[in-house]
Amino acid sequence: MRDKNVFSFKRALPRMSWSPQNLYNLWARTQGPKSSEIDFRRTSKSLFQQRWRSKAVVRAYHGDYINEKIFKRWYLPETLPDVRPRKQFGSDTGDQATLQEFARRKQKEKDYELEEQERGNAPVGSLMFAEIERRIDIFIFRCCFAHSVYEARRLVIHGDVLLNGKKHTDANTRLAPGDMVSVNPDAIRFFKPRQPGHDDVNNYDAQKEEAEKSDKKLSLTPFYLPPYASPWLFIPSYIEPSFKTCSAIYVRHPTSRPGYSEIPTPYDADGEVVRFAWEWYAERRPRLRSKSQLDRMPDDRALRMKELANERESLLKDTERISSRG
């Protein structure tokens, strides 16, 4: 953890943590006395001050331990994505028309337009943090395998995490769709001996006593939740977890639908706070990336797999061209 006073009540900046102090900061910043600092409907602050304040509170939650320079260079998208279904212009014939009909693209376009009329536009502002959500440490926190993103990062660095069956110690790695992450059960705090104030979710202690009296083998796993953990117990839809095996699959990249964003955030997914934060970074994003900078880029498995696929495709084309000449 970079800042030992990360849960300061004076600053009241929500973080990725189940701490009761963080839960109070979440209330204070969004509903309590600190919420007026990010309510810009009636304010004397300049546009610069509004953007800076929005950037500060948003970054405190989304990757506060990531260096600001690194965040702007590697984790900030060039533009906010367009999540609307891709429309086709002109008339398709032959195989292309059959493929479009099989994919039901026209029906998807109609359904999306109806949903957009009912709920409004998709909140794409929060998708500026899509690259952050792909990090393996944040992925472990979203799976509810760790109490905080700081603990999830420690699990990765200490070698308690497997990526696709192999030991992985780089917490900066960005996952690709289909990657499976497994966590060592002995390192998860939920399964360790019960601490004062923790809830026995599956009544393990009572069943253990009954099993000892009747000399039966207990197949139940202990599961102890810390106090005030229920507000954080949710799994985003782009994650497929398996709590029996302490593993999860990164199914796809997060997206948004009209009235709904898949990226969890304490603030309105397309509200003025997120929009001001995007405007701040849009004006200050580094434009140039030298070869030395590219060598220092955090591991991106999706990009690496794309490059490998392109290499295979070019190799197949070269092989076909050589065989046709022969």
Average pLDDT of 110-128? 70
| pLDDT, tens only, 91-107 | 555 566 666 565 566 66
- Residue recorded with tokens 């990249």: 253
3-state SS, residue 260: strand
Cβ 194 vs Cβ 224: under 8 Å: yes
DSSP string of 42-96, one letter each residue? S----HHHHHHHHHHHHHHHS-TTS-HHHIIIIIS-SS----SPPP--S---THH
Which letter, b or e, does each residue of 112-123 get, where b requires 16 or more Cβ atoms within 10 Å of its Cβ? Answer: beeeeeeeeebb
Domain ranges of the chain: 9-82+122-287, 290-325
pLDDT for res 115: 59
Average pLDDT, the chain: 83
Cβ atoms 135, 63 nearer than 8 A: yes
The mean per-residue pLDDT over the stretch 43-71 comes to: 91
The pLDDT, as a whole number, for residue 96 is: 61
Query: Which has more confidence, 218 or 308?
Result: 308
Structure tokens at 234: 């949710």
Secondary element (H or E) of residue 37: none
**In this structure, CATH architecture of domain 9-82+122-287:** Roll (3.10)
Q: Residue 199: is its pLDDT beyond 50?
A: yes
Distance of alpha carbon 180 from alpha carbon 245, whole angstroms: 11
Q: What is the pLDDT of residues 270-299, one digit of tens each?
A: 889 999 999 999 888 776 566 777 777 788
pLDDT at 1: 43
Handedness of CA 289, 290, 293, 295 (dihedral sign): positive
Lowest mean pLDDT among 1-10, 151-160, 299-308: 1-10
Residues 217-269 have pLDDT tens digits of 777 777 788 888 888 888 999 999 998 889 999 999 998 877 788 999 999 88
Percent of the chain with pLDDT over 90: 40
Q: Is the pTM of this model over 0.75?
A: yes
Is the pLDDT at 110 greater than 90? The verdict is no
What are φ and ψ of residue 207, in 5° steps?
-70, -30
122-170 per-position pLDDT tens digit: 778 888 999 999 999 999 999 999 999 999 999 999 999 999 999 999 9
